[in-house]
Structure 1
């Protein structure tokens, strides 16, 4: 049997985690396989060779992308040529549709089998992108159950695989062990702040998150800093340096810790989470934590999205439940007063006894629907495509 060459491109940390799981399972099917493309630390830990720094692709927003367009176009041109010169048996684009779909389309025309893992949000806006997806890839691997309907509508090959985070996180986690990890005292309340993994997100959200925590001390009547501990997970060393710089310029009258431990560990130790919208909100839900989901974007990007975006919600827990489970704040609503009001409710002992169990029941229901063994299902689907066998 010839050695399989499997190309993968992940554009951001969440995709890095998804792809790493698939690589792990594919290695069981093809022990001698070679994996290369663009990926982060989790993929590289599985023996993946990254040809470029993944952070160079981590750009978000319609307007923001324009600033980085020359670099993105240069990388895309180079990576296309590399895979034409060194054809893989299959190319897997993980999320990052604006970058990956173009590469998939190009490679598919060269006779290379292509997969897109994580459906573009055609269910949310710009549905006609489905035609571009059909032209780009032989198979779409989807992480949410509501996506299948739109692919059935257009008769394109799609498999719902669930979400790898739902597999990795226990339905009923042992919260105490994570509190011990951060030396949290029994009486201490803990707030997790997750302002995002990108520099722009952190610069935009962290100052107002810190102001919110300061207000929270007063709102809860906590006159001693040890009564509230705030923990901020840094996605990498660059974000850690940026976070420390912002903290130094802020007044933070509470016990504050910046850690390079995972966001998941921080959330599992916390009583509540204040975060930037995205995959982190899904992870907080799987960790069974009450949260406030926020996002700020450029004014022009917001105006464009407001016209095009179809769902009633933008936070993933709300989209999956098809109802408002957790508060979501956009643009000018991302202010300390509104966020503090909701977080104070979450940290109230009465809320924990009366309302939190109901929210956890909702989260458990969604968790169960997402927990399908995503890594293995994805690898097996890729194997079927490689071996041209029927499902």
Structure 2
């Protein structure tokens, strides 16, 4: 347990001693918890921007390499929280509950000015609620998908977080309806991807011919997704290839386990003649290099939008889950893929559950290949949405956190968010 060193004006850190802010007897203390790679990157960007405003600030909590490099004292590594799937969560539940209990005690002893839970809602929201009850200001960074599932959760999230930082513009109004303070800060991916992606460079990087039609196929980054979607996606790709001589197909695999699952599907006799290249990672490069993308619903659809590529979206959930979703009317939107939700209309054909068949997927993919004018018509929409999401997410988030955590502290002038 850390000593209550705030009383003595010092801070425990693996890094150099902070410069004391002359307006206060102690530096700003910021605790953060990130549970996976995407959260680690978000946390690092936020730390860097907070440090430009409060150079003496001290950061501690749970994070990965990026947050450590940004100057955070990591009490636990983010990998300790990174578990996926119901069976894995259940297996690790006792350890996770013990970790959260010890972390809560350490945070209450350290008394940060603000606690920021980055995504990982199952772990962070409960922790935030208990810290908030003890008088610590709390922020939840990355809203769960309340726009799609059970919007009433917004009120529950508000009981945990004083402030919710949202990546998408349709989220704050839902929170406002439940009296919860939420701010749209933009999406970091919109900063990372160029407004004008370089298809030629991407094809060169992947060794693809510049004059051939290319289809990128992304059946998901988790084994369960590949099990439910992989065969249908490859079957659809085979149908497209039969109608388009010379088609090149690239399939990025998120990790070694996903590659093994994809290779097992590819080994089926019906796919033996398919001109298919499995990649280790490089999903973003594959999208930029392609003419059309066939992919599972999720964050990858946002990347395809930012890559300015026509896409077809498919998704299947476990039949039992689908039954419960329909029975209790848990899904509150007519469209489920992010590009369509952001645009407020269908710009990417999407097929859910029983409609996610090889025939439907292949027909929609072939439409994009056969109608270049339709593919060109969505480009201005993609660009407009890209600009809408490009709000300087880390800087905007840091400004909102600073106003909540340190309203009395003078903040240094920070650069305006990039247009």
TM-score scaled by structure 1?
A: 0.86
Q: CA contact under 8 A between 1:14 and 1:279: conserved in structure 2?
A: no
**Does 1:81 pair with 2:102?**
yes
Residues 314 and 361 in structure 2, CA contact (< 8 A), matched pair in contact too: no
**Does 1:72 pair with 2:96?**
no
Higher helix proportion (structure 1 or 2): 1
Q: Which moved more, 1:22-31 or 1:274-283?
A: 22-31
Aligned position for 2:4? none
Matched length:
377
1:40-99 per-residue CA deviation (whole Å, 9 max, x = no partner) reads x6556656645352674333xxxxx37733523531431232242244443322233233
CA RMSD of aligned residues (A): 2.7
Tell me the residue number matched to 1:181. 205
Give the secondary structure class of the aligned counterpart of 1:254. coil
Are residue 297 (structure 1) and residue 317 (structure 2) matched? yes
Q: Does 1:210 align with 2:226?
A: no
Q: Cα 1:295–1:72, aligned 2, differ >3 Å: closer, same or farther?
A: farther
Is the contact between residue 40 and residue 63 of structure 2 (CA under 8 Å) also seen in structure 1?
no
Q: How far does the alpha carbon of each residue in 1:137-188 deviate from its partner, in whole angstroms, 9 at most, with x for none?
A: 1110011112222232233222110111112222222221111111221221
Q: Is the 8 A contact 1:214 1:252 kept in 2?
A: no
3-state DSSP class of the match of 1:68? Answer: helix
Alignment pair present for 1:280 and 2:300: yes
- Structure 1's 189 and 46: CA in aligned 2 closer, same or farther, altered over 3 A? farther
Aligned to 1:62: none
Deviates more, 1:332-341 or 1:23-32: 23-32
Contact kept, 8 Å, 2:32 with 2:59, in 1: the verdict is no
In structure 1, stretches of 5+ residues that fail to align are 60-64
Q: Which residue of structure 2 aligns with residue 375 of structure 1?
A: 394
Q: Please give the residue correspondences for 1:1-391 in structure 2 after superposition, counting only pairs within 5 Å.
A: 1=20, 6-29=30-53, 33-38=58-63, 43=67, 46=70, 49=74, 50-53=76-79, 56-59=82-85, 65=86, 68-72=89-93, 74-86=95-107, 87=110, 88-220=112-244, 222=245, 227-249=246-268, 251-306=271-326, 307-348=329-370, 351-352=371-372, 354-389=373-408
Structure 2 residue runs without a partner (length 5+): 1-19, 21-25, 412-419
Could you list the per-position Cα deviations for residues 255-274 of structure 1 after superposition, in whole angstroms to 9, with x for gaps in the alignment?
A: 32222343212111111111
Give the secondary-structure state (helix, strand or coil) at the position aligned to 2:170.
Answer: helix
